[in-house]
Structure 1
């Protein structure tokens, strides 16, 4: 579920060309460090989770971030 949500954010807010391959890293998707920091801050605010800098790096994949959010207790609104 979070993979779809993250893909939508990446294509609409961060202008990543879709479709987003969840197994690609943010570096492979050409997400720059500023956009990555903004994404992390947005997710922390929206889902009230903490994402450490070591967990969200250019080498992190979309799928890994989705797992991180789920394991941190984030819940998508119905």
Structure 2
């Protein structure tokens, strides 16, 4: 559920090119720390779930971030 949401967000808002493999690291996807911080703020705005910078640094893949959001009880916006 969140994997599709996050990959679309990375593709459109953060201009990650090509197919996004949820198991690849953010580093491999060329998503830098500034973009991750912006992503965290965007997720808080859109989902109402706080993801601290330390948590974003600890999760290294889209799949891990999706699992964190699900564990927090976030809901994908319609």
| TM-score, length-scaled by structure 2 | 0.90
Consecutive unaligned residues of structure 1, counting only runs of 5 or more, are: none
Q: How many residue pairs were aligned?
A: 78
Cα distance in 1 for residues equivalent to 2:58 and 2:51: 14
Task: Report runs of 4+ in structure 1 exceeding 3 Å deviation.
Answer: none
Which has the larger helix fraction? 2
CA RMSD of superposed structures (Å): 1.4
Consecutive unaligned residues of structure 2, counting only runs of 5 or more, are: none
| TM-score, length-scaled by structure 1 | 0.90
Q: Deviations over 1:29-56 (max 9, x none)?
A: 1001111111010001111111122221
Q: In 2, are the aligned partners of 1:26 and 1:60 still within 8 Å (CA)?
A: yes
